[in-house]
Structure 1
């Protein structure tokens, strides 16, 4: 039985562990924190529980797959609640628009708020999104590439993506379909998940819009932290060993350069036939492969275009907000100019749009009785393009976010709080101070993205948001499976 060490108990590492143990490997997961989760972590503070990573959960079948590989299932491990509305959009003119679950419910919402023409356009939009997803997911997302020419191995799918306009630009495509500007924002803000302005993102990333606007947004009982806990539990029950509070200091390599295991920070040597590394790729090359020149696609060290970062303010407050959904998007007056601030000028958005997630509305453990847990996110430049002194800007940002909450009708009697800036992300090992890794520009997409193997370092496989297929929960879960397939190629 071959032994595989997985570095990191985040979603990618845990998915990889589930698939690896299902393939018959002996698996050890090494995690520096005391709990599973990685970027999908948690914070306990003054009686409040905060989910510190992703807050939007879509495509639960992608969680079910690694669970089943480990002999378990989604139904056994998680209790999911469908959120309807998935989002409540608040606009600068005072209007609101909800993203409702189901074709008919969303069509009715559009008809009521935007008119019959846009409601009819929605029918065609849904059909287009479904075709895009069916062509894209199995052929270009959930697949390993060895070279760019592998795109030609499935010419019918590639031709279909071209025919669907998948390589056009998302923003203009949405504007051609809908008249109401609010719909332009509701159906294109997801480009930010790919690290791009809607006018710069390829239309193939409308697949993210499909995932949340059509397939639905869910919330697990116990909070988002329940997802890594479920994966970790399944992996352990199937025989994997999870070692928390353990940091890997270096890779063990033989004279040929092949990886043979890891060395922990206390000097323990753990032998392995293969290692799956889920560290942010520039960090992995810098600290674990200092003698290997990183590929340009890795970014940071030798170029590359990083996603924007975010300030996240975790706030425990007295009171419960009225008229708010689980996920609330507050759009500013400005749209395209705000992205110019963020991505080109490297400044704070002059008129920002913000996300407020109220976990405690659906998680009774998240806050004491009569209180609420708020997750307030504002996109900000990453540390490579940004010109912001976060030591000085930290408190002014906090005051602006407090004023925004008050103006928007949220309770602001703060009991406890924790503010995260790009400097904090950087200190956690995230290149350019962003938790969203490399942006999904065309040269950093699919087979052009940083690969999950480096042929110069046999025995090492990468997983996570920095490599294929990309950023976000629906991407890093398949990333773990793709890493397990690479291990299968290496050691059988």
Structure 2
């Protein structure tokens, strides 16, 4: 039986591990932290619980698929509830629009807040989003690329994407369908997840809008950290070994062929393996595990996505009535803020912020009568001139004032402020948790490959490689890495 070592027990690594152990390989997952999760971590302090990574969970079927590959039914290990509303959107004029689950409910929400014309346009918008998703997912997202020519491997799919306007710009595509500028923001802000402004993002990234605004947002009791725990449980039940609190020092190579031979742990112990899946950020992986290899051009010249400041707050008291689990507060200066963030790499002059309050759904995440929440503000990555050692304090004060102005409790009992410096210390290149931006030149076959040409048997997974950023994409990246391993071990070629 061939052995595979997976470096990192985050969502990508565990997605790969579930599939590989389900294939019958001998799988060992090595994780430096004391618990599974990777970037989907957990912070517990004095009775408050916080997810330290993703907070928005979409595409439940991708989790179910990974669990099923290891012989586990999602209903047995990860009960999920759908959030409705998925978001509460608050605008600078004081108005509110809720993102409701279901076409009928959302159409009527738009009718009540934006008028009949935009409500009548919603069905066509949903049909467009769904068609984009149906074409993109199998042909451009959930697949490995060996060459840019693979983009036209299925000419009909490529032609359909062109016909749908997928290579146009997202912002203008949304504006053409709706009159109300609030809907323009609500259905295009997701471009920021891809590291771009709605004006510059390709319309193909409307699939992110489809995932969270149409397919819906889910929540597991106890927080999103429950997802990697469920995946780790499934992998172990199927026979994988998960080593926690165990760091990897280097990737070993065969002296005869130069191919992967296993890994050496920080302890000096060696684990032999026929293939290795590494889920570290690609730049971090090359610098720490493969120091004798030159950084690939795509890694060396990567354009990073903006970063974010995240302030985890455990506060005494409860939020104002009407507060949702996820709350987006849109600033007035929309275009100006994106120009500052992306073009000049400055703080947004009028930032839009996400406030996630899990205790609205799950009160167990805070002591009785208290609130667990975090507020996220997009900020430039470390390529900017901002000195976060000086800026952290003023940023914290601004966020506190913002929470007070918007009805959130501010009697802070516990807190944790995460800036780009902290993201960098966690191994995220550029100090951003959102990896490289999804420009056309960093998408699909142009993104950092999940194979390492100089080291046969080493494969990459995670947000820094294909297909990209976000919980759904990272789960898919684990699947794609597992497919690479399968081809390498069975056919002798990646």
Match of 1:91 in 2: 91
State the 1:103 CA deviation.
0.3
Match of 1:465 in 2: 463
Match of 1:25 in 2: 25
Distance in 2 between residues matched to 1:208 and 1:263, nearest whole Å: 38
Do structure 1's residue 344 and structure 2's residue 343 form an aligned pair? Answer: yes
State the 1:479 CA deviation.
0.6
State the 1:346 CA deviation.
1.2
State the 1:294 CA deviation.
2.2
CA-to-aligned-CA distance 1:274-308 (integer Å, 9 cap, x gap): 0000000000111111222222222xxx2121110
CA-to-aligned-CA distance 1:353-392 (integer Å, 9 cap, x gap): 00000011112321000001011100000002x1110000
Do structure 1's residue 388 and structure 2's residue 389 form an aligned pair? Answer: no
Secondary structure, aligned partner of 2:176:
helix
**1:21-420 alignment to 2 at 5 Å?**
21-255=21-255, 256-298=257-299, 302-321=300-319, 322-384=321-383, 386-420=384-418
Match of 1:2 in 2: 2
Distance in 2 between residues matched to 1:364 and 1:407, nearest whole Å: 23
Distance in 2 between residues matched to 1:363 and 1:247, nearest whole Å: 33
Distance in 2 between residues matched to 1:31 and 1:143, nearest whole Å: 26
Secondary structure, aligned partner of 1:177:
coil
Q: Which runs of 5+ in 2 are unaligned?
A: none
State the 1:127 CA deviation.
0.7
With normalisation by structure 1, the TM-score equals: 0.98
Calculate the aligned-residue CA RMSD, in Å: 0.7
Do structure 1's residue 445 and structure 2's residue 446 form an aligned pair? Answer: no
Distance in 2 between residues matched to 1:136 and 1:90, nearest whole Å: 31
Distance in 2 between residues matched to 1:407 and 1:360, nearest whole Å: 20
Distance in 2 between residues matched to 1:296 and 1:77, nearest whole Å: 42
Distance in 1 between residues matched to 2:483 and 2:302, nearest whole Å: 27
CA-to-aligned-CA distance 1:127-146 (integer Å, 9 cap, x gap): 10111000000111000011
Q: Which runs of 5+ in 1 are unaligned?
A: none
Distance in 2 between residues matched to 1:106 and 1:366, nearest whole Å: 29
Distance in 2 between residues matched to 1:207 and 1:286, nearest whole Å: 33
Secondary structure, aligned partner of 1:27:
strand
Distance in 1 between residues matched to 2:9 and 2:364, nearest whole Å: 23
Distance in 1 between residues matched to 2:179 and 2:147, nearest whole Å: 41
Secondary structure, aligned partner of 1:22:
helix
State the 1:75 CA deviation.
1.2
State the 1:316 CA deviation.
0.2
Q: Which moved more, 1:254-263 or 1:94-103?
A: 254-263
CA-to-aligned-CA distance 1:193-218 (integer Å, 9 cap, x gap): 11111111100000000011111011
Distance in 2 between residues matched to 1:221 and 1:45, nearest whole Å: 18
